[in-house]
Structure 1
């Protein structure tokens, strides 16, 4: 029963690791108009939280050693709740401050989960990684699909953004009694134990995590605007992204379960990155009538890409502490790299006034991610 409750708690925590990011995309035009900010400034709203994922990733292991992983995760969830509420107050400064706080909370909480899986479920790493990644994608999909309708129904974009504080508080209340028994401070080795910064394998995992995340956050933040410029309504553009994210829940569950059974995951990297690129370019340049099937292809690729990056962290690590530290490196450095994607897209769109150059940029990011993923997927252990 304890294990079941812990799984439920992990799922609830994972559900809150993306709504702060995906809820802003469908309303980006509305928020920008209300606050009088430009495309470049709006791109910072998407970029700064992702930078926080990278900047605060290294903080997570430090908090876990000092107060224990369960308490550190509660701190992260409370930061998420405060951040998403703050975005709707104090104008543009509140929007940026809230986005920063929510991103910091996500950065802390997200880094901790692979260590929990490695410690509590070492023989079911693929299954548990798939379950919490599926929940993560599900939370992203719900926020992407419901935020615009909530804004229309209530007449308030601030309420639509702030409502996502509620599930974060619920997750914290369930997580603490379910996970506080974990002995996450004993046996932690110092950071010098495994020289991750000198490991090509660690860097390949980090690069793959960062580049596939850059594609994901670019889709979260800018795909609704791209579709709206092609004549799709605000609500429909959010629903298209939401459906793609819902498809991710299936591939996020299936891919790590199957891939973890093999010593080498290179074939999976090739398939899912190809699907990701095909989906993005189909949505951007294909006939508008085909956007729904392309959204499905994109969901298959991106759900599989992210879950495979997470499961490779677990599979390549020799123990729970290495997994936590590898997670910290991959997500801190990786998310810092990932933040450059949405920022570059905003700048390119501001300069060119169109989206064609953005399509070529996303293609280049995907191809480099493919190369890094193929290297990381080989059968080796840190």
Structure 2
């Protein structure tokens, strides 16, 4: 196993690495979130039921769950930079395949996009742990901001591209190809780095021991519940708003507003977290904000703009916290990759049940309120998990476990 070394030693190269990180992050939501505003058009084109459309939304999450455990191995085998470049290649191929035309390519392309995003999701926290160990909170906030902003632009523009510019749903989704192509171009200079995710000496634990720590499960549950709720709303918010009397264009704009609001915590959480002893109160407050937004959508839908913004801010803050926990709750980059793989495997497997479950619940009840109530209850459970995951503790590696009890 090759030893890790500092990837960039000069200020210009560090800036280039940061720009590359932001561009990689910009690809980790937009190709999926941009699907929802044109989901109705896709349903009409292929005569898909609500449950089948929910499956289309779920496929990326299943890919996240299945591919996430493989990402640390890819980093150890090929290096972080090359594994992330491969993720961008998968993303670009998936975007093209999804818009190719037939129904099978729509589903397969969506799954391939999910596989690419999974690798990026897992390895970016490990990259930050290795190259920015003292700036995890601030750099995580910056790449979460890029992730949310790109998703917001995708959500807000895909419907106008499909209708106003005559591209149709396939052309509008194909336009997202620009994101991975630009990211590949800017990430290319990093490919000379062959370092693996392990630290010098290779004494860090693998993924196995991570699964035995209660703190790891607390982080996983916090991330999984937030992902369940978030992807339910990513998939079904336009339909929920339509049932409240909003037009398709208005629903698409509010969907974009949710994405934009989810990016805002990236501006404020980094500096705030660095000043706090732990993250318990932040996790509690943001989880309760999500709960309040879900309640508002049920009882005061005429204020949907406010509730959508609150929901986006709350879930965006929670995912940033979950990503920060990958570095803050671990001792080294390899352990961070193992925790990231575990949390995203289990978390997204849980989230994968969200869109089809909620779609089926809506079909049975002919009402979106029962689904929103389920998400409300889960957001309160997420608050409890966040209080536990937010404690100032670390998962101990094998080398320190003998002298210090494991956190949890």
Structures share fold, TM-score greater than 0.5 = yes
Q: 1:180 to 1:298 in 2, by over 3 A?
A: farther
* Residues paired across the two proteins, number: 381
**Residues 48-101 of structure 1: CA deviation (Å, up to 9, x unaligned):** 111111111111111111111111111111111111221222432111111100
Q: Is the 8 A contact 1:69 1:184 kept in 2?
A: yes
Q: Is the partner of 2:322 in helix, strand or coil?
A: helix
Calculate the TM-score normalised by the size of structure 2. Answer: 0.90
Structure 2: tracts of 5 or more residues without a match: 1-11, 396-408
Corresponding residue number in structure 1 for 2:91: 80
What is the correspondence of 1:181-220 to structure 2 with a 5 Å cutoff?
181=193, 183-185=195-197, 187=199, 188-189=202-203, 191-192=205-206, 195-220=209-234
Q: What are the Cα deviations for residues 127-150 of structure 1, in whole angstroms up to 9, with x where unaligned?
A: 001001111111111111111011
Per-residue CA deviation, residues 211-256 of structure 1 (Å, 9 max, x unaligned), is: 1011111111100111012221112111112112112212133124
Which residue of the partner structure matches residue 140 of structure 1? 151
CA separation of 1:153/1:112 partners in 2, compared to 1, >3 Å: closer, same or farther? same
**Distance in structure 2 (CA, Å) of the matches to 1:152 and 1:117:** 40
Counterpart position of 2:160: 149
Structure whose residues are more often helix by fraction: 1
Q: Greater shift after overlay, 343-352 or 31-40?
A: 343-352
The alpha-carbon deviation at position 295 of structure 1 amounts to: 2.0
Q: Quick one: structure 1 residues 202 and 112, their matched pair in 2 at CA, closer, same or farther if it must change by over 3 Å? A: same
Cα deviation for residue 324 of structure 1 reads 1.1
Deviation of the 1:184 alpha carbon: 2.7
What's 1:18 paired with?
29
Structure 1, residues 295-347: CA drift from partner, whole Å, max 9, x if none?
22122211111101111121111111111111111111111111111121111
In the alignment, the residues of structure 2 paired with residue 252 and residue 53 of structure 1 have an alpha-carbon distance, to the nearest angstrom, of 23
Larger C-alpha radius of gyration, 1 or 2?
2
Which structure 2 residues correspond to residues 250-261 of structure 1 after superposition, within 5 A? 250-261=264-275
Cα distance, 1:194 vs structure 2: 6.8
Matched with 2:404 is: none
Which residue of structure 1 aligns with residue 361 of structure 2? Answer: 348
**Structure-1-length-normalised TM-score:** 0.96
Which has the larger displacement, 303-312 or 258-267?
A: 258-267
CA–CA separation in structure 2 for the residues paired with 1:293 and 1:42: 27
CA distance in structure 2 between the aligned counterparts of 1:373 and 1:179, rounded to whole angstroms: 36
Q: Separation in 1 of the partners of 2:254 and 2:284?
A: 25
- What secondary structure is seen at the aligned counterpart in 2 of 1:57? helix
Question: C-alpha displacement at 1:287, in angstroms?
Answer: 3.4
**Structure 1 residues 1-382: aligned runs within 5 Å:** 1-155=12-166, 156-178=168-190, 180-181=192-193, 183-185=195-197, 187=199, 188-189=202-203, 191-192=205-206, 195-288=209-302, 290-382=303-395
Query: Do the aligned residues in 2 keep the contact of 1:77 with 1:105 (CA within 8 Å)?
Result: yes
Distance 1:158 1:239, change over 3 A: same
Which consecutive unaligned segments of at least 5 residues does structure 1 have?
none
Deviation at 1:192, TM superposition (A): 4.4
Whether the 8 Å CA contact 1:6–1:179 is kept in 2: the answer is: no
